[in-house]
Amino acid sequence: VSVTAPDLKAGQLRALAKAGELEETRYKRVTAGALSSNALLAVLGIAFLLPLIWVVLASID
């Protein structure tokens, strides 16, 4: 059975799921694109942080 959420209430959906009549589609929470985008941003962040390290450490020495 193919349904969209606004058509049915949660209880009805659960009943359908129990009966095995519901086809569940799981969307990926982590995609390769999002992962690589975050990784690139982290690398850029480290690149921006590096020059500051010496000064920060020297100032608290």
To the nearest whole angstrom, how small is the minimum distance from the Cβ of residue 48 to another protein?
5
Q: Is the Cβ of residue 1 or residue 34 nearer to another protein in the bound state?
A: 34
CB count within 10 Å of CB 16 equals: 15
Q: Which is nearer to another protein, 5 or 55 (CB)?
A: 55
Torsion of CA 54, 57, 59, 60, to 10 degrees: 180
If one asks whether residue 53 binds another protein (CB under 8 A), the answer comes out as yes
Q: Does 27 bind another protein (CB under 8 A)?
A: no
Say whether residue 20 binds another protein (CB under 8 A). no
Q: Which amino acid is at 17?
A: A
**60 is a site residue for another protein (CB under 8 A):** no
Q: Are 1 and 20 in contact (CB under 8 A)?
A: no
